[in-house]
Structure 1
Amino acid sequence: MYNISSSESIISYAKMLKDKTLRQICEPEIEEHHYKGKGNFGQLLEKYYFGYEPNSASEPDFFEAGIELKSSPLKVLKNGEIRSKERLVLNIINYLEVHKEEFESSTFWKKNAHLLLIFYLYDKDLDILDYYIKLVDEWKYPLEDLNIIKRDWKIISQKIKDGKAHELSEGDTFYLGACTKGSTSLKSFREQPFNSQKAKQRAYSLKQGYVNHIIAKIAHEEIAVYGKIIKKIEILNNENSIEDIVISKFRPFYGINDSNIEAKLNLKVKKSKQYYSSLSKAILGVEIDKEIEEFQKAEIEIKAIRVEENNCIIQSVSFPAFKFKQIYEESWRDSELKDLIEKKFLFVFFKKNKFGYYLDKAKFWNMPYKDRNEFRMIWLKTKKVIQSGNIFKDYARDKNGNIRYSKKGHPIRKNNLPKLKESRVCHVRPHGTDSTFTYPLPVEDKKLKIIEYSRQCFWLNASYVRDEIYLK
């Protein structure tokens, strides 16, 4: 079928899968498969197409050619564009061994230096044998990406050396993450070498944003909509990290008011809710209507925050509105919110003075372990309220006991979701003031007898942003 010692032969054979399904190309023996579980597409591919038994060996799947096979699902967006459905999980991190390794001779690099990637269109309504294989190609990391990935690997390794394997987070790094792998049960916890506390099993993974970049490259899509903030020569210099390069671009503007920053950059930024985020992007040298390539790969979000003269931050920081049914059905480990709070953020603080707001500081931040646990408790409380059907508490009333109404004439409702005073880290409340924007409820509300409720968000408390991000 192919020469096991030849990467060209293996890749050529793999490309015969493109635009086909496993049922079409592997009949009739594949019809009687018995593989179960999340990774069974890859297992079927290995056994029935490439002709070897699925395994968890530390060497590449095609050892003689030095190629590792990975399959990954795609999703179709509403506009018809193709994107990765999830991060690309690589090999398990062996806490007891990785701290002894150097990158070039590490198990990670030996296994994942040369990838053979097979992307298929996921469809929950189809049998796994009928998933359409959309893209097939090899992947070798461009040098500028490799330098970042090498730094990421060293950050993960150092955290293990520091006895903090249990505190690992995908927000610690840029392109190469350390994602949880396995169930939430105790059997998925592992010993770590420099701390008696067990750590959740984790695997190296390429972040979803980086996988989308790979997909665009393989599909030869036009990626001119992205702007780059880092020159190749900057990242190839091992003295520089992404953090160093990005922050160095902000420093010359520290202490300068927003209007003067515009003048220095010779541009006019439209006044809107996104004004300070747009100004931050302009400082980085990226056109306002373009996404930042490096941030897209690393899934970094810019949070532009206004600070009052007394260091008070008035506005809490919101996450996207959540769907009640989604929280009702998912576990914390697989939740969208867990992924969101593990990400890395770039906070840019503009502080008020008599002339307006000036650029005070910029810093990268990801949530500490103890605060992620606090967020988890608030998420679990939210899930419990949704499950019980006790979201509605009462109508807001004035001092005379009369129901209060919004400016749009809707009665203001109070609910039992976690409030600001319940946690130093986060709370739940609506995003916006229009209660007519609703999501379906999985359980009917017991008091109102309704099956939908106004959209809600998780928020980082403004005081938390001040104390734990701005002032630290």
Structure 2
Amino acid sequence: MLDITSADSIIEFAKQLKNQTLRQACGSEIEKHGYKGKGNFGQILEKFYFGYEPNSDAEPDFLEAGLELKTSPLKTLKNGEYRSKERLVLNIINYLEVHKEEFETSSFWKKNAHLLLVFYLHDRDLDLLDYLIKLVDGWQYPNEDLKIIKQDWELINQKIKDGKAHELSEGDTFYLGACTKGSTALKSFRDQPFNKEQAKQRAYSLKQGYVNHIIANIAQEETAVYGKIIERPEILDKVRSIEEIVILKFHPFYGKSAEQIEKELGLELNQNAKSYFANLTNAILGLQLGQKIEEFEKADIQVKTIRLKENDLPKEDISFPTFEYQELVETDWEDSDFKNILESKFFFVFYQFEGENLILRKVKFWNMPYSDIVEAKNVWQEMVKTVASGEIVKEVTEKGVRKTYFPKKTENRISHVRPHARNAADTYELPVADKLTGLTEYTKHCFWLNASYVKDEIYLK
């Protein structure tokens, strides 16, 4: 019997959903659900399984039990493990009120301290009533995570107090993000209290990496491949932030060569291996070789090792994952992979050539300033326009080299587009055939961060 005043009772009732679809769990009247929009899986579940009308109250869904219901899609990896398809969006940030709050009594904490999570397998070929529910459980934040989430919440709040709600970015924080919510239309802009400039509507969200951590916990997957930087959560009370803890671990090695660092740490690494610098980073952080850094994985931190020439310019531009042309033109900017990457938090490890030796210069946590994201958006827009119009190849030289209209390094201070493929035959389909050559697929490309931008705006700042 369901007792809606008891979190345990509700969670046990919810667990009966495992390996069922909404259609199976809720009976025939579900056919007339009538819900539209992205969030309707959760709304249908609320109404037809738990028997209450969906709402957007500031209180938790199950008020007497202090439990908030959240549903989220899964994808399956080749090895059969589950991963989150997206971040987990929590409640909308009310810019006009949140600056008056303290974390422990905040609307965020009242609503999200105890979550009931229902994860389902997303399948674009199925009606959502036939999505299979795979994982169900309650979630409360472990102490070490809660300390970081509180710091994240306070950082978001401070930015609002500083009149910078319009500059909020998911890269500002570790586990708790401030993601854009609502369409890109003007209606999704909101007033903020300490600046006349309107800010995009945003919601608190748990980053995709953190949601993967929850999934692994619920599915009881082996987590031995993870190593922790912070073994004792109480250290976060004494030191200002996780960033400071990490940077302090690298300080003793500044000015030393990679070989010297290896010797001091008692290692013998293969310097030609692709994983050489990742292993060195792990060793400095006190992790075993090959382990993933738990805090970085939860925070979706992009670790980049940069080798600088003697003039401080990186030896190479920084590449991002390849994009599919079809997906590029079908996705709007707010949901684009490129914007997601630019809004990430990065951890840069800078080594510099001195003759043959690579010397560790510094490490830095960084996320792209709001104004630079706006500037980089031009490259994405230009790319979408070029692919959608089918005007890709400008000319084919006598040697058969194809020159494209894709954005070049000289055209944007921050980013450009160029190939990132095994060879010219490593391709993705085009949504529109190229007008000059008639090609229906084209060599894989990706967005790159310009080496000069990395030097001027990240390394030297």
After TM superposition, the score normalised by the length of structure 1 is 0.95
| 3-state SS, counterpart of residue 136 of structure 2 | strand
Runs of 4+ in 1 over 3 A off after TM superposition: 233-236
Q: CA deviation at 1:127?
A: 1.4
Partner of 1:372: 373
Farther off after superposition, 214-223 or 432-441:
432-441
Matched AA of 1:435: A
Determine if contact 2:118/2:135 at 8 Å carries over to the other structure: yes
Partner of 2:390: 389
Determine if contact 1:347/1:363 at 8 Å carries over to the other structure: yes
Partner of 2:143: 143
Distance 1:163 1:285, change over 3 A: same
Determine if contact 1:305/1:350 at 8 Å carries over to the other structure: yes
Paired with 2:438 and 2:199, the residues of 1 have a C-alpha distance of 44
Partner of 2:258: 258
CA RMSD, 1 decimal: 1.3
Partner of 1:70: 70
Any residues of structure 2 matched to 1:116-265 within 5 Å, and which?
116-233=116-233, 235-265=235-265
Farther off after superposition, 350-359 or 103-112:
350-359
Determine if contact 2:344/2:367 at 8 Å carries over to the other structure: yes
Determine if contact 1:316/1:461 at 8 Å carries over to the other structure: yes
Farther off after superposition, 269-278 or 243-252:
269-278
Determine if contact 2:282/2:291 at 8 Å carries over to the other structure: no
| 3-state SS, counterpart of residue 335 of structure 2 | coil
Does residue 417 of structure 1 match 2:389? no
After TM superposition, the score normalised by the length of structure 2 is 0.97
| 3-state SS, counterpart of residue 347 of structure 1 | strand
Determine if contact 2:318/2:448 at 8 Å carries over to the other structure: yes
- Measured against aligned partners, the alpha-carbon deviations of 1:250-291 in whole angstroms (never above 9, x if no partner) come to 101000001111111111222234433332232222233221
| 3-state SS, counterpart of residue 261 of structure 2 | helix
Determine if contact 1:234/1:245 at 8 Å carries over to the other structure: no
Q: CA deviation at 1:375?
A: 1.3
Paired with 2:34 and 2:153, the residues of 1 have a C-alpha distance of 36
Determine if contact 2:177/2:207 at 8 Å carries over to the other structure: yes
Determine if contact 1:147/1:235 at 8 Å carries over to the other structure: no
Paired with 1:466 and 1:324, the residues of 2 have a C-alpha distance of 30
Paired with 2:329 and 2:119, the residues of 1 have a C-alpha distance of 30
Partner of 2:445: 456
Q: CA deviation at 1:432?
A: 5.1
- Measured against aligned partners, the alpha-carbon deviations of 1:397-445 in whole angstroms (never above 9, x if no partner) come to xxxxxx34xxxxxx32210000001110000001257212111111000
Paired with 2:41 and 2:111, the residues of 1 have a C-alpha distance of 20
Q: CA deviation at 1:87?
A: 0.5
Q: Which of 421, 424, 428 lines up with 1:439 in the alignment?
A: 428
Partner of 1:311: 312
Paired with 1:110 and 1:339, the residues of 2 have a C-alpha distance of 28
Determine if contact 1:277/1:303 at 8 Å carries over to the other structure: no
Matched AA of 1:158: Q
| 3-state SS, counterpart of residue 333 of structure 1 | helix
Matched AA of 2:289: I
Distance 1:325 1:366, change over 3 A: same
Matched AA of 2:222: E
Paired with 1:417 and 1:235, the residues of 2 have a C-alpha distance of 48
Partner of 1:346: 347
Matched AA of 1:451: T
Any residues of structure 2 matched to 1:273-352 within 5 Å, and which?
273-352=274-353
Paired with 1:377 and 1:236, the residues of 2 have a C-alpha distance of 40
Structure 1 gaps, min length 5: 397-402, 405-410
Determine if contact 2:393/2:405 at 8 Å carries over to the other structure: yes
